[in-house]
């Protein structure tokens, strides 16, 4: 699954650690999300969307679509 997390984080000048703290996950989890090695759970996807004030679909894109 592709996502815009790295861009959204950079626009706010947040480190991976900053984003991880805001989401209540590890920095390694943020790195895995950004590199596409890990797809978020639905609750985490909603939390990310709320944090950036965007819809889930505006952050995550299905690569098959």
For residue 59, is pLDDT > 70? yes
Residue 60 lies in a domain: no
Which residue reads 């004030």 in tokens? 53
Q: What is the CATH number of the domain that holds 33?
A: 1.10.260.40
pLDDT digits 0-9 by tens, 15-51: 999 999 999 999 999 999 999 999 999 999 999 999 9
Please indicate, yes or no, if residue 64 is contained in any of the structural domains: no
The residue range of the domain holding 50 is 2-55
pTM value is: 0.91
| Gap between the Cα atoms of 10 and 26, Å rounded | 18
The answer to whether residue 43 sits within a structural domain is yes
Q: How many domains does the chain have?
A: 1
Q: Residue 5: is its pLDDT beyond 70?
A: yes
Q: Where does the pLDDT of residue 65 fall: very low under 50, low under 70, confident under 90, or very high at 90 and above?
A: low
């Amino acid at each position: 699954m592709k996502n815009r997390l790295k861009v959204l984080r950079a626009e706010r000048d947040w480190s991976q650690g900053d984003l991880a703290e805001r989401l209540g996950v590890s920095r390694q989890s943020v790195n895995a999300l950004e590199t596409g090695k890990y797809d978020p759970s639905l609750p985490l996807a909603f939390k990310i969307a709320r944090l950036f004030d965007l819809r889930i679909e505006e952050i995550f894109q299905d690569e098959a679509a």
